[in-house]
Structure 1
Amino acid sequence: MGGEHWPGAFLQTAGMMLVIYLLRAGTALRRVSSSDGDRLSAPLLASARWRLVVAAASLMPSAASAQVSTNMERAPTLTIERYSEDWSWLADPADRKGDWAEPLKYIPLNDDGATYLTTGLEARSRYEGYENANWGSSPNDGYVWNRLMPYADLHVGKVRFFAMPILSAISGTDRPKRPADTTGVDMLQAFVDVDLAASGGDSLRLSAGRKLVSLGSGRFIDRRYGTGVPLPFDGFEAILTGKTRRVTGFYLQPVDTGLGEFNDRRSHDKAVWGVYATRWLDAKHLNGFDVYYIGLRDRNAVFDQGSGRQLAHTFGSRIFGDNGAWYWNIEAAYQRGAFAGHRSEAWGAGFETGYRFRNASLRPEVALTADIVSGDGDPKDPKLGTLNPLFPNGKYFGALSPIGPRNLIHLRPSTTVHPHKDVAISLTGVAYWRESTHDGIYAIPGLLVRSGKDSDARFIGKQIELAASWQATPKLNLTGSLSAFDPGPFIRDTGSARIIRMVGAQTTFRF
């Protein structure tokens, strides 16, 4: 790492970048001179007006009491996958609070209440506008993701049937559609569970079908929730749960989403299997540790070194905790196997820690996140050294995530304040380096973004993001963000190197 690119220098320039970006945002959008830019300048200018509305709305008072976060994955109320919610407590009328949605969350279908139906819905619209996408090597872009995800959860004694269709669309862009953009009308989740008693008071749940799955912190298997279309998996799970432990065995194949109606199919190229075990150290399950093994088969894996069949075995562990003020999450993994007929060996580690000033004005929170993920050290050696992160979070580093966790060192300080109990505003800075100067950088889905063959520079660039979230009601969340990525020497050595600017705005309604 060059001395001029140490995190201290990054933090010093981060504030300057934000000020420059805010001052230039309006005029920069008007300067677009290419044909693509002229076509998109009006939507981008409209987005500039919209982000001011979002910023103003985030400061308005509200009566909601749900926890607020500017994290795009956690901001809405309730849960992401929905099937983990338990509404059986509504069987007792004395426990009901008079919310309008309660009659839809518990619908008894027999006299004793052992058979009941839960229903719900998520409606989300998300705008994203980009200037200098891919550091200027792709056209400016602006679009709206819309999706509607109703669900029905039928419980018949110890058996449960869960179904969640999705209606999705993207508008405002002419570029080719990606799997994460839209899938038309299709089945996002459809599975059956059976609960069985196990020894020692534990329970065993057997699950088969299509579902959204997230393991641990989501570094290796997650739902891709932040994009237009989440990522479901087809397969089987066996989950053994006790008071202090949970062990999950699984075999899953990711679902390849298509643009047509009801044409999403399980992948024939990729599959994952393994065991994920958690031990909790407190009754609230806030503190504990994980150990896991995850196997991967990918018939068409792509790296800077080349493409070919990959078989990877990942062994890892995670320690997590939260005492109300401090919280922490530390994880490390070792991966070995074979790629294109030769041996592979890789590794990765990351941590997140933060502190909440609960009794201070604005309830500020500071946090620091860091990752180091191995890259390939010698392109002439057939042995692969790049870690495959499998299926990580779709917005891994924030609303703007042009690169993913392969061959990467990243440092991310952040601060969050709460001007109202239902409003959170955060400022985050990120600095990126290549772990190996002989390997390239990759997108989150695993595509090669820039090859490392034409540069020996380590520093990739620095990013800043301002985000605000308003939990307007327990069911309605509004989120907005401004982001900028300033390219470093590696990006300048390997192609176009303009500052990426992004504005995002999202509304999410759930019940």
Structure 2
Amino acid sequence: MKRFCLIFSLLVFVFAVKAQQSVNFQKLRYDDDFSYLKKDSAKTWYKKLKYTPLSSDGSTYISAGGEVRYQYQYFKNENWGDAPKDNDGYVLTRYLFHTDLKVGSHFRAFFQLQSSLADGRIDPSPVDQNVLDVHQLFFDANLYGKESESLILRAGRQEMLYGSQRIIAVREGPNNRLAFDGVKAMLKRKNFKTDAFYTHPVVNRPEIFNDHFNKNTKLWGSYSTFNAVPVLHNIDLYYLGLWKRNTVLDDGQGKERRHSLGTRIWKSKGNFTYDFEGLYQFGKLGAANIMAWTVSSNTAYRFENIKFKPTFSLKTEAISGNRNYGDGTVETFNPLFPRGAYFGLAALVGPSNMIDLHPSIQLQLLPDLSLTTDCDFFWRMSKNDGIYAPNLSLIYYGAANNNAYTGTQLAANFDYTANDFLSFTLEGTWFAPGDYLKQSSPGKNVYFTAVTAQFKF
């Protein structure tokens, strides 16, 4: 541990001194673009790491980068007292390293390793620990190669992220990010882009180089985005198909074939922002029919002329749950592959059978330091369904419990951005169980805290 802290401190110092220009790291690191360094004649060693030409004209080059994330987490009364007691907490570390080879404007190869370690975690899951594995390895062929439009075919292991990350995300919050094996076609024009894909989510295993192709789950579909739309600003339209060999819900188990049709209307620039989304699901779970849905609203306003520039936000969600036991219809919503920290890093509950009311306030205390406080109120949408984790695993059944109120969650976090490479987060969460959880679980208040240091290069 001391050795890691020393190495980490030295890296921070070196990059603080040597990195003499700002960079913009993307959520998906394969979207990083350092081709502009082709025209930079005063290259530092860091710039050479980001752009090393392999041809005389500089159109073929290789780039390298990565990430180190160090995170301490502590739970008191995890899972409302149902989890094993841990008095010391645990440390999660994540290492990512990638290389990106671009051959002209028509071919590309991207490779990324991931190592996720869970020191002191009692019975860590594959989401917490994966000692070392190939996280991404894919090849691109650009059939157009024009600056204004492109048609790219991608094959291999790859991360995917769409929309507000409610349905398909990289699982950034947990220690081990998620990738998919498959093929994808990406068409992009001026104010329009669309992806079509057929994939299998990677099965993560905790040892070295043993993640494997997932025969038990398939995800396919298309996702389209229209920008610069009059009045509405931006619109997403999507279809997603899911097949699983076995799914277990409160009222139903068996082979699942689920289809999701959704739309999202959003605006992310300016003082007033919004994100409205609606999604309907249908298909089969065993012999039962699937009829599920969700609607969400997320609006925010930032007051630029007030001290600390407060941003007031209100998010609400209605997410369907099973209405009646044994009626041949399953209404439990499947969030597919959402961001793991859906309702905060503590990730106590997931987006199924849920009504959620979530106000929050963000204050910009300093140019590089912000404070966010929020409050979440949770109810079960249906009393004939239980509550679920973000991965749709059933936490508690709904039968014989006529209470709807699940609980109240209060959270606060400080975010400090030291520079483009280094950031820190301190956060705390308190979850007070409602009547439903008091009857279904030991009913203890949950206390959670986490300290995160993240270094990207």
Normalization by structure 1: what TM-score?
0.82
- Cα distance between partner residues in 1 of 2:456 and 2:313: 28
- Residue 208 of structure 1 is aligned with which of 120, 132, 155? 155
Runs of 4+ in 1 over 4 A off after TM superposition: 64-67, 198-201
In the alignment, which residue of structure 1 is the partner of 2:298?
352
- Cα distance between partner residues in 2 of 1:472 and 1:235: 37
How does 1:179-198 map onto structure 2 within 5 Å? 179-197=126-144
- Cα distance between partner residues in 2 of 1:78 and 1:197: 26
- Cα distance between partner residues in 2 of 1:65 and 1:200: 28
What is the one-letter code of the residue matched to 2:119? Answer: S
Whether contact under 8 Å (2:229, 2:235) holds in the other structure is no
What is the CA deviation profile of residues 56-102 of structure 1, one whole-angstrom value per residue up to 9, with x for unaligned ones?
xxxxxxxx9999xxxxxxxx9622320011111111116x7x77632
Tell me, what secondary structure is at the counterpart of 1:83?
Answer: helix
Cα deviation for residue 307 of structure 1 reads 1.7
What is the one-letter code of the residue matched to 2:429? Answer: S
Tell whether 2:58 aligns with 1:110. no
Cα deviation for residue 364 of structure 1 reads 1.1
What is the CA deviation profile of residues 146-185 of structure 1, one whole-angstrom value per residue up to 9, with x for unaligned ones?
1111110000121000001012211012x22211011111
What is the one-letter code of the residue matched to 2:300? Answer: G
In the alignment, which residue of structure 1 is the partner of 2:175?
228
In the alignment, which residue of structure 1 is the partner of 2:385?
439
- Cα distance between partner residues in 2 of 1:320 and 1:304: 33
- Cα distance between partner residues in 2 of 1:201 and 1:171: 48
In the alignment, which residue of structure 1 is the partner of 2:245?
299
User: Which of 239-248 and 304-313 deviates more?
Assistant: 304-313
Cα deviation for residue 379 of structure 1 reads 1.0
- Residue 189 of structure 2 is aligned with which of 219, 242, 250? 242
- Cα distance between partner residues in 2 of 1:263 and 1:293: 32
- Residue 111 of structure 2 is aligned with which of 160, 163, 184? 163
How many equivalent pairs are there? 435
Tell me, what secondary structure is at the counterpart of 1:298?
Answer: strand
Cα deviation for residue 282 of structure 1 reads 6.8
Distance 1:93 1:200, change over 3 A: closer
- Cα distance between partner residues in 2 of 1:390 and 1:357: 35
How does 1:72-151 map onto structure 2 within 5 Å? 78-93=25-40, 101-141=46-86, 142-151=89-98
Distance 1:227 1:110, change over 3 A: same
Cα deviation for residue 200 of structure 1 reads 12
What is the CA deviation profile of residues 302-351 of structure 1, one whole-angstrom value per residue up to 9, with x for unaligned ones?
10013211100000000010341001110000000001122111110111
Cα deviation for residue 198 of structure 1 reads 8.3
- Cα distance between partner residues in 2 of 1:185 and 1:196: 34
In the alignment, which residue of structure 2 is the partner of 1:376?
322
Cα deviation for residue 419 of structure 1 reads 1.3
Whether contact under 8 Å (2:252, 2:330) holds in the other structure is no
What is the one-letter code of the residue matched to 1:467? Answer: N
Tell whether 2:419 aligns with 1:480. no
Tell whether 2:370 aligns with 1:413. no
- Cα distance between partner residues in 1 of 2:191 and 2:355: 34
What is the one-letter code of the residue matched to 1:294? Answer: L
- Cα distance between partner residues in 1 of 2:76 and 2:24: 31
Whether contact under 8 Å (1:65, 1:474) holds in the other structure is no
Unaligned residue ranges in structure 1 (runs of 5+): 1-63, 68-75
Cα deviation for residue 359 of structure 1 reads 2.3
What is the CA deviation profile of residues 114-144 of structure 1, one whole-angstrom value per residue up to 9, with x for unaligned ones?
1101111100111110000100111233211
Tell me, what secondary structure is at the counterpart of 2:74?
Answer: strand
What is the one-letter code of the residue matched to 1:109? Answer: L
What is the one-letter code of the residue matched to 1:167? Answer: S
* Seq. identity, %: 34
Unaligned residue ranges in structure 2 (runs of 5+): 1-18
Cα deviation for residue 204 of structure 1 reads 0.2
In the alignment, which residue of structure 2 is the partner of 1:23?
none
Tell me, what secondary structure is at the counterpart of 1:490?
Answer: helix
Which structure would you say has the larger RCO, counting Cα contacts within 8 Å and 6 or more residues apart?
1
In the alignment, which residue of structure 1 is the partner of 2:4?
none
What is the one-letter code of the residue matched to 1:169? Answer: L
Distance 1:366 1:491, change over 3 A: same
Whether contact under 8 Å (2:132, 2:207) holds in the other structure is yes
- Cα distance between partner residues in 1 of 2:77 and 2:275: 34
> Which one has the bigger helix percentage?
1
Tell me, what secondary structure is at the counterpart of 2:30?
Answer: coil
In the alignment, which residue of structure 2 is the partner of 1:362?
308
How does 1:329-340 map onto structure 2 within 5 Å? 329-340=275-286
What is the one-letter code of the residue matched to 2:78? Answer: A
Whether contact under 8 Å (1:126, 1:504) holds in the other structure is yes
In the alignment, which residue of structure 2 is the partner of 1:275?
222
- Cα distance between partner residues in 1 of 2:46 and 2:396: 49
- Cα distance between partner residues in 2 of 1:193 and 1:359: 46
Whether contact under 8 Å (1:65, 1:422) holds in the other structure is no
What is the one-letter code of the residue matched to 1:172? Answer: G
